[in-house]
């Protein structure tokens, strides 16, 4: 697989919308490592709250729900990665459906601004939440293929916003010749992610709970649901590789970007317990937000079109994630964002 990107010259401007977030911060860092000299990172949060901070980048604090902010963001850009959204784990998206839907303004205005600015390529980060809920009700269901997003019945709020935004990208390509690429992310995790506060996803939440139990000398952990709901989790390095390869490709349809290593939440906890060297009793909170019963990524299409698929084992990615969260929780004085030098 190629390691290049279709951004033209390394002196062309590349924009990362949502660059102060978890995936966006890592993407900015990867662009710099690849030698891109002009990167603009834009996020709603104040700079001190960005997950990673790179001083040699054009860092802008702006609300991308606003069209004027999107026009300023896209001005002079050759390529745009739109990762900006109001989102979090199931504990957030199941209780903030309207807020998640409002993110449709971001992609709508970013597409308009990108078209006006003559952007060459536009990437949109979608989600596995676009898939029909009735296809994810039991473990007997096959891995989700790209065509399983229709007939449409995505998860309320967040899933509908993502599916609508995918269609916006498609029609901007058809009507205005703006090259758009769409990846459906499946549960991305890794260091420099949210691990507390209500927006964290399952891998980080489990790591935090195990570390807290170890610190407190507790022998019990709370699990949302019965622990038998299944998911696949993609480590951040695979996410970055796949994102940039899809951006550079000729793939004009939304495509899965996720690991096919399926585990139950109980098995996820088993792995973290082995890393921590601890065994805990499990208390199941059956009325907690838990999302669909079952979900896994069918990687047939990405293997066919890119000759690649995410391959970092969950055990290896969780080891790095656990160590990073452990350091944060063990030393509150640690600066949680990374500065690129």
Cα separation, 65 vs 17, whole angstroms = 11
Strands 230-232 and 262-264 turn out to be: antiparallel
Question: Could you give the 3-state DSSP secondary structure of residue 282?
Answer: strand
Q: Let me know the angle formed at the C-alpha of 246 by 241 and 249, rounded to the nearest 5 degrees.
A: 125
Cα separation, 172 vs 170, whole angstroms = 6
Cα separation, 272 vs 143, whole angstroms = 25
Query: Which residue in the list 81, 124, 131, 158 is annotated as catalytic?
Result: 158
Please name the residues in contact with 223: beta carbons below 8 A apart, sequence gap of 6 or more. Answer: 265, 266, 269, 282, 283, 284, 285
How far does Cα 194 stand from its chain's mean position?
11
Active site residue 158: yes
Residue 9 neighbours by CB distance under 10 Å: 10
CB distance 271 to 162 below 8 Å: no
Question: Which are the catalytic amino acids?
Answer: 158
């Amino acid at each position: 697989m190629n390691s290049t990107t279709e951004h033209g010259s390394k002196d062309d401007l590349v924009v990362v919308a949502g660059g102060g977030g978890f995936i966006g911060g890592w993407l900015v860092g990867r662009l710099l490592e690849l030698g891109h000299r002009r990167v603009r990172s834009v996020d709603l949060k104040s700079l001190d709250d960005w997950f990673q901070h790179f001083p040699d980048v054009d860092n802008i604090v702006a609300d991308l729900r606003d069209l004027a902010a999107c026009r300023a963001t896209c001005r002079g850009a050759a390529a745009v990665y739109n990762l900006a959204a109001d989102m979090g784990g199931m504990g957030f998206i199941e209780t903030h459906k309207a807020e998640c839907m409002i993110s449709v303004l971001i992609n709508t205005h970013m597409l308009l601004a990108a078209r006006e600015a003559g952007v060459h390529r536009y990437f949109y980060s979608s989600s596995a939440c676009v898939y029909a809920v009735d296809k994810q009700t039991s473990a007997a269901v096959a891995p989700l293929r790209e065509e399983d997003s229709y007939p449409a019945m995505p998860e309320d709020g967040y899933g509908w916003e993502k599916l609508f935004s995918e269609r916006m990208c498609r029609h901007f390509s058809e009507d205005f010749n703006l090259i758009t690429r769409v990846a459906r992310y499946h549960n991305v995790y890794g260091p420099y992610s949210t691990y507390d506060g209500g927006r964290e996803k399952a891998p980080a939440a489990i790591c935090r709970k195990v570390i807290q139990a170890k610190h407190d000398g507790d022998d019990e952990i709370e699990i949302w649901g019965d622990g038998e709901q299944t998911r696949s989790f993609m480590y951040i390095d695979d996410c970055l590789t796949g994102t940039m390869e899809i951006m550079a490709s000729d793939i004009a349809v939304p495509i899965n970007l996720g690991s096919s290593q399926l585990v139950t939440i109980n098995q996820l906890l088993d792995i973290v317990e082995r890393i921590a060297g601890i065994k805990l009793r499990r208390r199941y909170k059956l009325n907690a937000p838990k999302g669909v019963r079952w979900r896994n990524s069918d990687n047939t299409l990405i293997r066919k079109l890119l000759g690649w698929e995410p391959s970092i084992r969950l055990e290896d990615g969780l080891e790095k994630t656990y160590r990073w969260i452990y350091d944060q929780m063990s030393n509150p004085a640690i600066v949680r964002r990374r500065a690129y030098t």
